[in-house]
Structure 1
Amino acid sequence: MRILLVEDDAVLREVITRSLEQAGHRVDTAGSVLEADHLWRVQPFDAVLLDLNLPQHERTESPMGNGLQVLRDARARGDLTPVLVLTARNRTEERIEGLDSGADDYLGKPFDLAEVEARLRAMVRRAIGSSDLAQLGDLQLDRRARRFSVAGTSLELPAREFEVLYELMSPPGHAVSKRHLSDKLSNFDEALGDNALESFISRLRKKLVGSGATIRTLRGIGYLLEPEP
């Protein structure tokens, strides 16, 4: 998944980012209202992790308030990206206001990093209407465990190859554009080029031999995961 993390505490932001990236996700971060609003407008994300108590940008007098206003503005323009709000554990009114403003879930501070990732996965599953398991031939994806297997044997993949195959199998049988895959695997500090993407696809094809699934290139469109002939 490509995730927008909005958190003004630099230490906490780094800890959460490292945890999510180790789980195979791509993370873009914002530490202020204007940074969050800008990133959310120019880049599609699978999920947003949003702290409500954000500072204004020091060089602007923007009328925007805290993270709650960023959320309200996104919903007002029709953006349905799943949002997990981070709140102080004893601030019930803050949680209620966040949910009423369009948040999909909330998590009180302090929290367990594993629960953050689990809640993000659950939100995205609900948003796309998918189950935890997807299968094509002998290839199976367990989203909850973030695990691929072939005929019951784990398929070990580097993080980015995993994410490419994850996108192709969510769900299987639909075309995925190069732009979409590049967006999912990039962040604002590092863009993934076509050559790198094609290299990932080539390596995946070799690893899928005998799985009953194969990746077909659709010229001018992208890639399709389909049953092996």
Structure 2
Amino acid sequence: MKLLFAEDEVELSRAVCAILRHQGNEVDPAYDGEEALRKARAGSYDCMVMDVMMPRQDGISVVRTLRAEGDRTPVIILTAKTQLEDKITGLDAGADDYLTKPFAMRELLARIRSMARRSGYQEECIQAGNVTLDMGEQELKALSSIRIGSKEARLMELFMRNPDKLLGGEELFRRVWGESEESGDEQLFLYISYLRQKLGAIQADLLIEGERGGSFVLRQRDA
């Protein structure tokens, strides 16, 4: 999994990130709220862990901003043990779970796994622009509709869950084809070409920008 761990206590952050990486995760640390918001906007994550008390911007306001912008990434907030109000406010702001500090590392790992499983059962229909992706039927709908393959659906899901975010080719390939597959720019670009053709066929107001061998981004066409 790819994780964002936002915590201003540097030594704690380094220790937790080291353990998370040892468990096979890719982890981006952030040491203040503004850095966490910037990385969350720029990257595609499977789960974000956000401390409430951070300099420059608190974790709850970061979560609230991301949710207002349409970011659906699962979020776990870290709160002081006695701060019940932080837990309630964080959940109301859009966090999915909370963990009190100090915490056991095994519990954090379990909660991250739970968030990852839960995100796999998110809504089957995803909306972006005038396009609806029905994951159950593997169908794209706009002014008309068209069936797509399973890898096309997973690729389109990643784009639609992360609009306006620059997604690297290697990351897209890994998250659709899996770690065991050797990276293939040609194969990825072929599937992106399929999606571009199908978005055009249904008269979608979305387009996928980017070139073979580079990064890609889903944007909404200007009216």
Does the pair score TM above 0.5? Answer: yes
Q: What one-letter code is carried by the residue in structure 2 that aligns with 1:17?
A: C
Say whether 1:103 aligns with 2:83. Answer: no
Matched residues, number:
149
C-alpha RMSD of matched pairs (Å): 3.0
Aligned counterparts of 2:41 and 2:107: Cα–Cα separation in 1: 27
The answer for the alignment partner of 1:55 in structure 2 is: 55
Aligned counterparts of 2:62 and 2:41: Cα–Cα separation in 1: 10
Q: What one-letter code is carried by the residue in structure 2 that aligns with 1:111?
A: F
Q: What one-letter code is carried by the residue in structure 2 that aligns with 1:66?
A: D
Q: What one-letter code is carried by the residue in structure 1 that aligns with 2:181?
A: I
Which of 58, 67, 83 is equivalent to 1:75?
67
Percent same amino acid among aligned pairs? 34
Kindly state the Cα deviation for residue 67 of structure 1 after the two structures are TM-superposed. Answer: 1.3
Moved over 4 A (4+): 197-200
Deviations 1:10-44 (A, max 9, x none): 01101110111011000001101111111011111
TM-score normalised by structure 2 residue count: 0.59
> Closer, same or farther in 2 for the Cα pair 1:26/1:201, shift >3 Å?
same
Q: Secondary structure at the match of 1:220?
A: helix
Aligned counterparts of 1:110 and 1:17: Cα–Cα separation in 2: 16
Aligned counterparts of 1:39 and 1:185: Cα–Cα separation in 2: 21
Aligned counterparts of 2:178 and 2:44: Cα–Cα separation in 1: 22
Q: Secondary structure at the match of 1:85?
A: strand
Q: Secondary structure at the match of 1:44?
A: coil
**Where do 5+ consecutive residues of structure 1 fail to align?**
57-64, 131-172, 187-196, 204-216, 223-229
Q: Secondary structure at the match of 2:114?
A: helix
The answer for the alignment partner of 2:5 in structure 1 is: 5
Aligned counterparts of 1:33 and 1:10: Cα–Cα separation in 2: 14
Aligned counterparts of 1:219 and 1:185: Cα–Cα separation in 2: 10
Matched-pair contact (CA < 8 Å) for 1:47–1:81 = yes
**Where do 5+ consecutive residues of structure 2 fail to align?**
123-149, 156-166, 193-223
Aligned counterparts of 1:184 and 1:115: Cα–Cα separation in 2: 29
The answer for the alignment partner of 1:87 in structure 2 is: 79
Q: What one-letter code is carried by the residue in structure 2 that aligns with 1:50?
A: M
